[in-house]
A and B are shown apart, each in its own frame.
Chain A
C-alpha cells in the first residue's frame, strides 16, 4: 500500500513542510493572504485559528486588523460591513457561533459579501458538546454560502487560499465556508506543505470589490425588497452559487499549477469495478480510504466518493461517479430528525436509481469512527443487510438499525 501523505505531491518544496495543526494551517494561509479585517469571537475548536493569527499580527508578520467583537453575530455583521466597504475580510467560527452567525450569513450571500469563514465543524448543542460533526455546517446549508470540506490539515490550508480566490471571483462574490472537522483536523498536527508567501499573495491578488461602499459618491446597499423584486434578486444569488461549480474547477486548476495539488469537487477513490461505495465528506474520508485499501487488498471491490464541495452540490459529478456502482452507503455526520439526513438527500437527488442508496449516520458529537465500523458499513451494503429509506447508526464497530430493537448502549 502506498502511503497517502498530503505532502507527497510532485513539485513541492520540502523546505516549506511544517508539522502543524489544521487550525495553524488556516492561520498560516490567512497570514499569507493578509486580509484587511478579521472580526472574531472565540469558540472551541476554532479558537487556535484566531489565536495564531492574532500572534502573527502581534509579531508584525501581517497587517490584519483583528477586530475582537462581542459575539459571532457581530463578527459576521462587521465582516459584511468591512467586505462591502472595500476591505478583504475573513472570520472563523464553529457550532453555536456559526448558529449565531447564520442570520447574517444569509445576508452576506444576498449582499454578495465575499467573506471567507473558517469553520471548525463541531456538534450543535444540545446537549452541549465541543467535538466534531457536521451539524453546524448543515444549519448554513441553504444560506447561499459556498461550503468546502477539508480532509486534512493540508487541505484546510489549501482551501483557505482557494476559498479566498473563489469568494472574490467576479462571477461569485459570495461567502465561502471552509470546513475543517473539530479536533480531528483543527487540533491534530500533520505535515503541511506551505507555499511561499509571495506565491499565495500573487495567487489571490489584491482585493477588488466592484463598487465598494467607501469611495462611492452614493449607493444603497441592502434595500427593502417587496414581492415584485425579491424573487428576481434571489434568483441572481442562486445563479452565482451555481456558477461556483465551474469557477471552483477553474480556481482549483490554477492552484494545481501553483502547488501540484489537484482538487476536485468530487473525488472518486478506487471506484473502478466497485460493487459498493461510501459517500462522505470531511476528515473521516481519510479513514475510509484506509478501509477501502485494506478491503481491496483482501479482494473486496469497494470504493469511496469524497465530496469536497458541498455547496453548490456537484450533482452531475456525483451522478457520474456513482453511475456504475450498484450499492452505495451515504454517510452523514449530521442528522435531520424525522427524515433522512442532509447529505443522503442531496445524493438521492443526484442519482437516477435511488434504490441502491442506504443512509448511515455516524460520528455525532465526535463519536469515534473506527476502521472496523466503516468496514461493517461496506460489508452490510454488499450483503444487502440494510433496510431502504431508514437511516442506520454507526456505533463503534457496528451499524445499528432500529427495527424494533432497543438502543444499543
Chain B
C-alpha cells in the first residue's frame, strides 16, 4: 500500500490536482481528491459532476487539473463516464490507446444521492469500469447549504432550518452505500477525509475491481456545518469514532468494518462542535438528541452484525486477492519527471 510519503511524493512528481483553486479553508474536498488521485497508478481521466469541486477548480481560463478532466452537467456524471468508457474500449480496439487508463468520477452528495442517482444506478447495472467517488458533505453546499437526502436527522440547513416550530431536518439520511451495494458491483466502500490511509487503501482496492467501484467519503464543510476550518479533520474523526460514519467495505457483496474505534465516543461530542446542530442543545430537545444516538446505535449494531457474518468469507482464499495491494520497493526514491506508476508497473500485482 502507498504510505503518506509515497503519496506526497506522487503528488509532487506526478501532480494531478494543482493548487490555486478556490475551495474554502478547511474544505475536505481537495485532500480527498489528492488522496484518491495519488493512490492510483497509471494515467487517470476525471469526470466531474457540477459541484463545489467543479466550480472552484475550473474557472475559465484557469484550471487546477493537470490530467484529462471533463464536466458536463449535475445529474449525469455516471452517464458521461459510461460514454467515455465505451469510447475508451473503441479506441483501444483500434489500437489508438497504448496504455490502460483509470476513469474516476467525482460528485457531491446532491449529485449522487439525489439528482444523479438514476444515472449512477444505470451505469452500475451496466458494469462500466470506473471509480465513482462521492464526496459527501451532507447538503447542497455549492448553492448555499440546502438539505439533500444525505443531510442527517436534526441538521439545520437553509431549506430545513431550525426555528420556533422546527428542529432542522426531520428525516434521517439515505443509506447510499446499501443502495449501491444492492447493485452487486465488485467493490463499495465508505471512507472519511480524516482516515487517509484507509481511504487510500480503499481506492487501491477500487482500482483493482473488475467493474464499477463506489466510494462514499465524508468531507467536512466548515461554512455548511458551522465549525472552525481548523476543526475540519477533528469533526470528521469524531463522526467516525462516534459510529455515526462507519468505515465499511462491501467486497463482492461481503460487508466488513475496515476500522473499529477502540471505544465509541458519545455522538454529543460530534454534535456540539457543529453549528448546524446548535439548536438541539436548547431546552426540550433531549428527545431529538436521544433519537440521533439511537439511529447511530442501531446502525452500528447492524454494521457489526454484518461484519461478523462476513468473517469467514474474509478469511477465505477468495478474499485474500483483495488484500494484495501494489507496493513500491523500499529502495524507491522519488525522482523528478518520473511518474510513480512506472514503479507500479515494475512491481506487478501478484494476483
Inter-subunit contact A71/B84 (CB<8 Å):
no
* Contact between B68 and A213, CB atoms less than 8 A apart: yes
Q: Which of A85, A89, A111, A217 has the most CB of B within 10 A?
A: A85
Instruction: Name the A residues within 8 Å of B82 (CB-CB).
Output: 39, 67, 69, 74, 77-78, 81
How long is the Cα–Cα vector from A104 to B93 in the complex, in angstroms?
28
Q: Which of B65, B79, B91, B121 has the most CB of A within 10 A?
A: B79
Most B CB within 10 A of own CB, among A111, A224, A229, A233: A224
Check B87–A74 contact: CB distance below 8 A. no
- B58 and A77 contact, CB distance less than 8 A: no
Contact assessment for A214 and B54 in the assembled complex, using a CB-CB cutoff below 8 Å: no
Asked if A213 and B45 make an inter-chain contact with CB atoms under 8 angstroms apart, the answer reads: yes
For the complex formed, measure the closest distance between the CB of A151 and the CB atoms of chain B, giving whole angstroms. 32
Greatest chain A CB density within 10 A among B70, B90, B119 is at B90
Interface of chain B residues 82 through 101 with chain A (CB within 8 A): 82-84, 86-91, 93, 96-97, 101
Number of A-B contacts (CB under 8 A): 159
Q: Answer yes or no: A60 CB below 8 A from chain B CBs.
A: no
Interface 1/0 per residue, B290-314 and A, CB below 8 Å: 0000000000000000000000000
Tell me, yes or no, whether B289 is within 8 Å of chain A by CB. no
Q: Is there contact, CB below 8 Å, between B87 and A81?
A: yes
Taking CB as reference atom, which chain A residue is nearest B70?
A221
B60 at the interface (CB under 8 A from A): yes
Q: How many residues of A contact B (CB 8 A)?
A: 45
Q: A73-B76, A213-B68, A214-B88 are in contact. Are A79 and B55 (CB under 8 A)?
A: no
Complex CA gap A159/B170 in Å reads 55
B131 to chain A, nearest CB (A): 16
B126 touches A223 (CB 8 A): no
In this assembly, does A197 line the interface, its C-beta being within 8 Å of a C-beta of chain B?
no
Q: B261 at the A/B interface (Cβ < 8 Å)?
A: no
Inter-subunit contact A80/B97 (CB<8 Å): no
Residue from B67, B72, B83, B93 in contact with A222 in the complex, judged by beta carbons closer than 8 Å: B72
A358 and B82 CA atoms in complex are apart in Å by 48
Given A39-B83, A65-B89, decide whether A218 and B119 contact each other with a Cβ distance below 8 A: no
Q: Are B119 and A73 in contact (CB under 8 A)?
A: yes
Does A396 belong to the interface (CB within 8 Å)? Answer: no
Interface bits A60-104 vs B (CB < 8 Å: 1, else 0): 000101011111011101111111111101000000000000011
Whether B91 pairs with A214 at a CB distance below 8 angstroms is yes
A213 touches B84 (CB 8 A): yes
Complex contact A74–B118 (CB within 8 A) = yes
Chain B CB within 10 Å — which of A39, A71, A75, A215 has the most?
A215
A225 adjacent to B83 (CB under 8 Å): no
CB contacts (< 8 Å) of A67 on chain B: these are 82-83, 86, 126
Find out whether the CB atom of A69 lies under 8 angstroms from the CB atom of B87: no
Q: Complex formed: what's the CA distance from A81 to B81 in Å?
A: 7
Whether B73 pairs with A81 at a CB distance below 8 angstroms is: no
CA distance A104 to B79 in the complex (A): 11
Query: A77 near B70 (CB under 8 angstroms)?
Result: no
Q: B53 to chain A: closest CB distance in Å?
A: 11
Cβ of B335 within 8 Å of any chain A Cβ, yes or no, is: no
- Do A107 and B122 form a contact, CB below 8 Å, given A67-B86, A81-B81, A85-B88? no
Q: Known contacts A220-B63, A222-B71; is A77 also within 8 Å of B90 by CB? A: no
Fill in one digit per residue for B126-151: 1 if any A CB lies within 8 Å of its CB, else 0: 10000000000000000000000000
Task: Indicate if the CB atoms of B72 and A223 lie closer than 8 Å.
Answer: no
Chain A residues, CB < 8 A from B65: 218, 220
B80 at the interface (CB under 8 A from A): yes
Q: Are A39 and B69 in touch, CB under 8 angstroms?
A: no
Which chain A residue has the least Cβ–Cβ distance from B81?
A81
- Inter-chain contact A224/B55, CB cutoff 8 Å: yes
B283 within 8 Å of A (CB atoms): no
* Complex: A267 Cα to B73 Cα, angstroms: 39
B66 at the interface (CB under 8 A from A): yes
CB of A76, distance to nearest CB on chain B (Å): 8
By a CB distance below 8 angstroms, the chain A residues around B121 are 70
Given the known interface contacts A213-B84, A218-B68, the answer about A86 and B76 at a Cβ–Cβ threshold of 8 Å is no
CB–CB A78/B80 < 8 A: yes
CB–CB A73/B75 < 8 A: yes
Establish whether residues A214 and B73, one from each chain, have CB atoms under 8 Å apart when the complex forms: no
Q: How far is the CA of A224 from the CA of B71 in the complex (A)?
A: 9
Q: Does A162 contact B (CB under 8 A)?
A: no
Partner of B67, one of A71, A79, A215, A218: A218
A214 in contact with B45 (CB, 8 Å): yes
B16 nearest CB neighbor, chain A only: A218
Q: Is the CB of A86 within 8 A of B87?
A: yes
Interface status of B47 (Cβ within 8 A of chain A): yes
Bound CA span A74–B118, Å: 9
Q: How far is the CA of A354 from the CA of B88 in the complex (A)?
A: 52
Task: With A69-B79, A70-B118, A87-B86 given, name 13 new contacts (CB 8 A).
Answer: A65-B86, A69-B122, A74-B123, A77-B76, A81-B82, A104-B73, A214-B45, A218-B66, A219-B69, A222-B58, A223-B61, A224-B59, A229-B61
A-B contact pairs, 9 of them (CB 8 A): A68-B126, A74-B78, A78-B79, A82-B84, A82-B86, A85-B88, A218-B65, A221-B68, A223-B61
Measured CB to CB, the residues of A under 8 A from B are 36-37, 39, 63, 65, 67-71, 73-75, 77-87, 89, 103-104, 107, 111, 213-226, 229, 233
The 3 closest A-B pairs by CB, nearest first: A81-B83, A70-B122, A78-B83
Interface residues of B (CB under 8 A from A): 45, 47, 54-55, 58-61, 63, 65-73, 75-76, 78-84, 86-91, 93, 96-97, 101, 118-119, 121-123, 125-126
